[in-house]
Structure formats: C-alpha cells, structure tokens
Amino acid sequence: MSAISRLAIGALALSFALPAAAQTKIDFFFPVPVEGKLAREMTRLVKSYNESQKEVEVTAVYTGGYDDTKLKAQAAAKAGKPPAVVLMSANFNVDLKLSGDIQSLEPMLKADGTTRDAFLADFWPALHANAMVDGELYSVPFHNSTPLLYYNVDHFKEAGLDPAKPPRTWAELVDAAKKLTKRDGDKVERYGFTMPAGYDYLGWLMEALTLSNGGRYFNEEYGGEVYYDTASMLGAARFLEDLIFKHKVMAQGVVEAGGVSTSFFAGKASMMLLSTGSLSFIRENMKAPYEVAFVPKNVRNAVPIGGASLVMFNGQSEDSKKAGWKFIKWLSSADTLGGWSRFTGYFSPRKSAYDTAEMKAFIAKNPDTKVALEQLPYAKPWFATYQTVAVRKALEDEIQAMMNGKKKPDVALKDAQKKADELMRPYVEQTALKLPR
C-alpha cells in the first residue's frame, strides 16, 4: 500500500472518530397579544430558522399575553431554567434590568466588532429609547405599533361625513361620534366610538390620550416617577368620561380588545382606537370598507410606541448566549421583519425592510400600512418604570372604575397616583439623594 493510500485511509478513519459538533439547544418564549394567526406563524418562522442551519436548535414556547410572558419567563429563571431569548413587551426592560433578569447586549455588539449606535442606525429613532436602559442596549426591537383610529367608511357616508377627512382633534371626534351614533329610543343600536379598556391596552391608550393632551405619562429618565395626578392626564380622563356619560357615544364599562373589534366588524361601532398590530386581522375580517387615521389630538399629535422586543435572560452558558444572539440577529433581519410586518400589521422596526420589492408592492396594495409610519415622527417612548405592570394597573383599576361610573376622574387619578407612589417607593428610597442636613 502506498504512503498516499495509508494517509487517505487514516484521514477517513479520523473523520469517523471525531464526533459532530454539538448543537446548542435554546428556549424562545413568545407572546401573541393581538388577534390573528400569529402563534402559528411564529412557530413556522422558528422551524424555518432551525432548518436553515445546524448549530442552533430553538424550541418555541407560546406564553400568552405580554404580562403572562413576563411572569412565565421570570418563573423559569427562578427555577434555574431561564429562556435564552424572550419576545418581551418593549416597556418591561427597565423593570427587568432592575430585577437583574436580563443581560446587556453590549458584549455581543463588541464581539461582533460593532457599536450600539451603528447597530441601531437601521432602526426607527422612535424605538431607541425603549431598547436601552441607562445608556446600554438591552433589547432588539422586533415588532412595533402605535394606536390608530379605525373607521367605517359606509357609516361616515351615511352620517354625511367625508371619509377622506377623519377626525383630527378631540372636538372633531366628538362631533363625528355624535353623528355616527344611532339610537332607537333609549336603545343604542350603534356607538360612534369604542376602545379597549382591559389591562395593558387601557394603560397604553391612556398614555396616548395624555400625550395628545400635551402631557407626559412618566419620567423617561427615571424609573420611580409617573404623572397620573396631573392636569394633562385629568383632561384625558375627563374626555373619556364625557364620551361615555355626557355625549353617550361610547358604551359604559370595560370592553376587551376582542369585543371592540367584534363590534366594529358587526357595524355596532363606527370608530375605534386599536393597535397597528391588529391591522392584518381587521383587513382579513372587516367586510365593509374601512380606513385608518392618526389618533386625534387635543394639544398636539403624539402617540406611544407599543410592541415587543427581543431580550436575553441572565443565567445562560456562553454557548447559549452565542446561540441566542445568533437567533436574535436572524429574527431581527430586514427580511424576517418585513415578512412578519406584512403578516401581522405591526410595522417593521428596521427602516431597510421598506426598501425591498416585496414591501413596496405590499404597501402599494395596502396603503393603510403607511399611516403608522407617518405617525412615527410624533411617537414617544412606551411607559416603563420600576414594577411596570403593577404601577400600570394602579391607573387602569381607577380608570376602569371611572368608566363604570363608580368614580370621578379627579378622585380616580389621585388614588392611582397614591397607589403608584407606594409601589415605587422601594426604588425611590434606594435612589433618592441623601442630602447633608
């Protein structure tokens, strides 16, 4: 046997002796907070990723709504099995960073030879604030939204309103809602306006109304301050109360998002505030013609950013960190985000996703997609504090009581502020300056 033959046989034997590189397995928790077939589509995306490479195997775990996902991810971490990657409500980052649950993504950027500014350059500027905590990147925007005003075109025409001129102000919204509301004696057959008032949604929409009234919902630079008992939020709460009890163009009580869209589909409501993330669901299920518009303003055009971002939980091995970061980069690529945007109605956080031929053709066919993008110059950060969920619910409980006729706006907001301050006190006491006396 020649020396070359012996070398070839030896090399072949060595190749059989070496084990294949071990595949890193990671868990990915994800919520589906709006209607539609999003869970199945996300599962399909993860399957596509797993089949596209051999180094990482991702197990997709559907975890319910945003609040549920936070609780389940933290419970898994406490049990010693933290998920590598979580699609988390974009306004939980401050709370999760303060509790030590999530890790900074700065080391991953450094390992890739890039910087935070360079990485974020392709993401819409309005999204940057919710992606960072204390000047460091803690999340990667995945899908984002703003509230939109949806309205029934046929109802507008029937009421003598021009569908090409939707309400731009609170006063115009009230006027249009009065004309759109239909009554048969004391019975309301159709309300002019509706909006979700369940947990999470109500806090977001109260931020939208407060911002459009010239106010601030919270201190964007400090996790221990909210501005519930303020003139700007009082104006927003009174506007909501008047829609229900004075103008009687909105149903009394708390209606969840599903009930709001159902009323809109059935022609029982002519206008509604709902997320951009519901756009595809509305498009698929609304039989009558509809349009979307900016959230009406009182003092200024302003809306909060909504949606979810990709975070990495602490407690991972180095291999798991690398695998999680690799998955995040694939999931947040322009192609993946563009496809997800077209499927869901969320706008893509990456600007470059709109440069593709597929997205240009989609927008040409579905011009309602552009409205959220046109609202982006007026977008503000999403409410984020210490104990975000509990602090948000302190307001939502009180506004729900107001919507049920059990409290007046001024009392509701004073009580909400008191509860929120109590919840944030540990953080405030920890960070308060100890001034010399």
The total number of structural domains in the chain stands at: 2
217-253 per-position pLDDT tens digit: 999 999 999 999 999 999 999 999 999 999 999 999 9
Residue 56 has pLDDT above 60, yes or no: yes
Q: How far is CA 357 from the centre of its chain?
A: 26
Same domain, residue pair 293 and 404: yes
Q: CA 102, CA 108: separation in Å to the nearest integer? A: 14
pLDDT bin (cut points 50, 70, 90) of residue 13 is very low
The domain that holds 82 is classified in CATH as: 3.40.190.10
All residues at 6 or more sequence positions from 163 whose CB lies less than 8 Å from its CB, including other chains: 151, 153, 156, 157, 291
Among residues 340, 359, 379, the one where a domain terminates is 379
Among residues 340, 360, 379, the one where a domain terminates is 379
Other C-beta atoms lying within 10 Å of the C-beta of residue 289: 12
Q: Return the pLDDT at 436.
A: 54
Cα separation of the two ends of the chain: 93
Q: Return the pLDDT at 21.
A: 56
Residue 64 lies in a domain: yes
Among residues 342, 360, 379, the one where a domain terminates is 379
Residue 14 has pLDDT above 50, yes or no: no
Domain span at residue 297 reads 147-304+382-431
Same domain, residue pair 211 and 107: no
- Compute the radius of gyration of the chain from its Cα atoms: 25
pLDDT bin (cut points 50, 70, 90) of residue 101 is very high
Same domain, residue pair 287 and 157: yes
Residue 76 lies in a domain: yes
